[in-house]
Amino acid sequence: MNRVLFNFSLAMEAVFANKLRTFLTALGIIFGVAAVIAMLAIGTGAKQSILAQMKLIGTNNIVIKSIIPSGEDDQGGGNVGQNNKTPWTPGLTLNDVKAIKKIIPSIENFSPEMVLNTPIIQSGKLQRAKCVGITNQFFDLNNLEIALGNNFHEKHMEFGKPVCIVGKSIQSKFFSQDDPIGKKIKCGNTWLTIVGVLEKRIATKESLENLGIRDYNSDVYIPITTALLRFKNRAFISKEDISDGDDDEDENANAQQQNYHQLDRLVLQVNESNTLQASADILGRMLKRRHQGVIDYEIEVPELLLQQQQKTQDTFNFVLAVIAGISLLVGGIGIMNIMLASVLERIKEIGLRRSLGATQTDIILQFLFEAIFISLIGGIIGIILGVSAANTIAASADIPTVVSSWSIVLSFGVAASVGLVFGLFPARKAALQDPIKALRSD
């Protein structure tokens, strides 16, 4: 142990005797480790962001959104009647839900939604919000929890009772100091009794926009039967309400903007993720047939979109990993180069130590300690630089970054390994020097 400590002290003397050369030698390791830390921070942040978005949309979900066709084209290959008028379509309805459930066995769960823009009034306070007609499956498919109160009961759903569940922002606005359960709130012309409050859903505005979903904290939720019975059932809109064959083109254009869909959104959950795309294709063909060939809906598979985003991010991370690996390789080669030059520069020192009784192992340890120490110093500085770079990227570029403890340990281990691997050859070269020739050299 004393010999090992003596060799270590000699190595430290050589390192600190040439501080500038040591720092320049360590630069490759510094930038390599910093790149590894920053790369892993970006990758981990992106992964957590993807997981958070997955939590927002739920897993194995297919989203069908109703749209109003313009009537200016053939609606994606649908039939067009005389005078270029779009055939009558019933729109997205609960009958579609029943047909989907009956025909497609891979559908495990479903959540129809009907969105109404209404004024919310309570205790003299007014706020415009969305009143959303749903079923209890809505909360399960969107990973939403009830913080206060309960879900809707079967009687609420069956008889269209005037009850509601409010988001956290609605509670904060109208019942900041009170327990809202059992109290009434007015949506449009209907008074609703609050039976539950949603757990607050934390999500950035950017995530909501990218995923095309609402801020669940700001909505009022009612049973879909209540929405149809007490608010508005758009399924009663007839073909004559939408367009009249005797109307002129301008009147038709204005009428066609009226929303005739009973449902605004339908979320379906399949039982296996590998059937997502196939189920979406079947849904598209089925709805096209039921809607008389008119494409007045959009089918999205958010999970597949996020998976594609994840693949893109993985490719980006791989490129960064290659760059970081090249930096570490260059840093290791730099250490080897400097250590080889150091061997030639200190060849008399090696000969003198060997003549005084130092073994080949002593010489190997001395030069190996130097290489490892340079790598570790570079690793420590690189870790500091990498953490700072990750924080700077997060602050300036608005990219989520997460510096984990395992990434620091990995970077530190890589730095030590580089010093060990690239310092071993120069150390062996120094140890194999002939002491007599070494003493005679100039």
pLDDT at site 165? 92
Both tokens of 263, joined, read 């449902």
Q: Which of 215, 183, 213 is nearest to 196 (CA)?
A: 183
pLDDT at position 252, please?
A: 42
In the chain, the N- to C-terminal Cα span, in Å, equals 33
306-335 residue pLDDT tens: 666 667 777 777 777 777 777 777 777 877
**pLDDT of amino acid 439:** 63
pLDDT of residue 210: 58
The 10s digit of each residue's pLDDT in 196-240 is 998 887 766 665 555 556 778 888 999 998 888 888 877 776 665
Please name the residues in contact with 47: beta carbons below 8 A apart, sequence gap of 6 or more.
310, 313
pLDDT at position 209 is: 57
The two structure tokens encoding residue 41:
């921070």
For the segment 113-123, the average pLDDT, to the nearest whole number, is 88
pLDDT for the residue 241: 55
In the block, tokens 């020739």 appear at 437
Which of these, 366, 347, 368, 374, lies nearest to 18 by C-alpha position?
374
As a whole-number percent, the residues of the chain with pLDDT over 90 amount to 4
Mean pLDDT of the chain: 78
CB 403 within 8 A of CB 387: yes
Q: What is the pLDDT of residues 60-111, one digit of tens each?
A: 788 888 888 765 544 444 444 444 555 778 888 888 888 888 888 888 888 8
DSSP string, 375-412: HHHHHHHHHHHHHHHHHHHHHHS-------HHHHHHHH
DSSP tag of 176: S
pLDDT at 438: 60
- Please state at what angle helix 302-345 crosses helix 360-396, rounded to 10 degrees: 140
What's the pLDDT at 193?
92
* CA dist., res. 106 & res. 278, Å (int): 10
What are the percentages of helix, strand and coil residues in the chain, rounded to 5?
60, 15, 25
